[in-house]
Amino acid sequence: MNWRVFLWLTPVFILTACTPRLRVDNSPMPKLNRSHHHFTKNLMGWPKNLKSLPEQPELIERIQENLSSPTLDEVERAIRRFQLQRRGSGPALDSAWPPFLEILETYLDQAPERLSLSPLIRARVAAEFELDAEKRRTEGCPPELDHLVRHLLARIDSRARAVRTVATTATRHRPGRGDEFGLMWPVGHGVITSGFGYRRDPIQHDKVRFHNGIDLAAPPHEPILAAARGTVTKAGWAGKAGRLVRIHHPDGTVTLYAHLAMIMVKPGQHVGAGDVIGLLGQSGRSTGPHLHFGVLQAGRHVDPLDVLRPVPMSFSDELTGIVFGYGQ
């Protein structure tokens, strides 16, 4: 062999001898471990067993509270979304419950000073109404759902009492206002059967409409009282509202009293706070004896519960709604 050819082929032989042989690995691929870890994650996403920033526990607590606490608008949207979903049928009925229960439970974790009574009442009435609807279904209400909803109702009752206590204390210490702060309740005692805001229509159950006041159920012909002194600007029939009285008050507030059985005032008449203006009834579009009470400020409907004086409230498993007032 020519020595030049030998020198040219020598590197090829060396590289071939040193190159490892390729082998196909036919062993099965290891499976991913998808089991739950022994630790759980907190609201910030970190494992609870990790001691991150132990020197600043107050800061961590505030951050977690801000991240976990829904705003009032978010709670209102959740209630409305729940009512809209419950208009449907099939899986939509069941899928409406989890997000509604979750956001309410989270909202109730806050201190009473940060809670609002109005959404609590609306949420309670909506939950009771839909729980009753579940029990009327052919397959009945699942025991787990019944337990969860009743637990939520109990928490709402407890927090609502705490909110009323805070509101009463704040009212008592409001300088220069005393017991005159807020509107009088137009009914001495009764049951709040529907709150302010979006709700399922009590007659057309497949509709969700905005309710611009609160419904106060009481015995028929219960005296209806003026919430504050003012001038009667309407006293007569008002279509679906039935027999209605409208009163303009000196500060610009307007109060409405609908579904009356009898009107006992006339337009232009001046009334004082607590004067009897009519009797409770069910005239107009109504499902039973109650008073629809509305309040307008600057021409816009507001939640009456935000402007009424604090009164005792209680809760009962036998009644749908929230019992209010000093009577029995």
Q: Are 75 and 103 in contact (CB under 8 A)?
A: yes
Out of 13-27, 62-76, 78-92, least confident range: 13-27
Give 267-280 as a DSSP string: TT-EE-TT-EEEEE
Provide the pLDDT for residue 76: 83
More confident residue, 228 or 6: 228
Out of 62-76, 119-133, 142-156, 164-178, least confident range: 164-178
More confident residue, 204 or 36: 204
Provide the pLDDT for residue 60: 46
316 Cα distance to chain centroid: 19
CATH architecture assignment, domain 182-325? Distorted Sandwich (2.70)
Residue 94 has pLDDT above 60, yes or no: yes
First-to-last C-alpha distance (Å) of the chain: 122
Tell me how far apart the alpha carbons of residues 178 and 317 are, in angstroms, rounded to a whole number: 34
User: What's the whole-number average pLDDT of the chain?
Assistant: 76
In percent, the amount of the chain with pLDDT more than 70 equals: 70
Provide the pLDDT for residue 103: 92
The mean per-residue pLDDT over the stretch 156-164 comes to 80
More confident residue, 11 or 120: 120
The mean per-residue pLDDT over the stretch 267-296 comes to 91
Residue 222 has pLDDT above 70, yes or no: yes
Tell me how far apart the alpha carbons of residues 281 and 41 are, in angstroms, rounded to a whole number: 55
Residue 129 has pLDDT above 70, yes or no: yes
For 71, which DSSP code? Answer: P
Confidence of residue 41 (pLDDT cuts 50, 70, 90): very low
Q: 């008002």: which residue's tokens?
A: 238
Q: Are 247 and 230 in contact (CB under 8 A)?
A: yes
What are 283-286's contacts with CB under 8 Å, separation 24+?
283/237, 283/242, 283/243, 283/259, 284/238, 284/239, 284/240, 284/241, 284/242, 284/243, 284/258, 284/259, 285/203, 285/240, 285/241, 285/242, 286/242, 286/259
More confident residue, 224 or 52: 224
Provide the pLDDT for residue 306: 86
More confident residue, 4 or 223: 223
Residue 78 has pLDDT above 50, yes or no: yes
Residue 39, classified by CB atoms within 10 Å of its CB into exposed (0-12), middle (13-18) or buried (19+), is exposed
Tell me the CA distances in angstroms from 60 to 39, 42, 57, 325, one per residue in order: 19, 11, 5, 42
Residues in CB range of 206: below 8 A, 6 or more apart: 87
β-strand partners of 192: 216, 322
Provide the pLDDT for residue 243: 94
Residue 239 has pLDDT above 50, yes or no: yes
The mean per-residue pLDDT over the stretch 200-214 comes to 76
DSSP H/E element including 77 = helix 72-85
Provide the pLDDT for residue 173: 41
The mean per-residue pLDDT over the stretch 56-68 comes to 50
Provide the pLDDT for residue 7: 58
Give 93-152 as a DSSP string: HHHTHHHHHHHHHHHHTS-GGG--HHHHHHHHHHHHHHHHHHHHSTT---HHHHHHHHHH
The mean per-residue pLDDT over the stretch 142-150 comes to 91
Residue 297 has pLDDT above 90, yes or no: yes
- Quickly count: other Cβ atoms within 10 Å of residue 69's Cβ: 15
The mean per-residue pLDDT over the stretch 22-36 comes to 47
Q: Among candidates 227, 224, 214, which has minimal Cα distance to 124?
A: 214
The mean per-residue pLDDT over the stretch 83-99 comes to 82
Residue 56 has pLDDT above 60, yes or no: no
Confidence of residue 231 (pLDDT cuts 50, 70, 90): very high
Residue 72 identity (one-letter amino acid): L
Tell me the CA distances in angstroms from 188 to 239, 279, 325, one per residue in order: 26, 12, 6
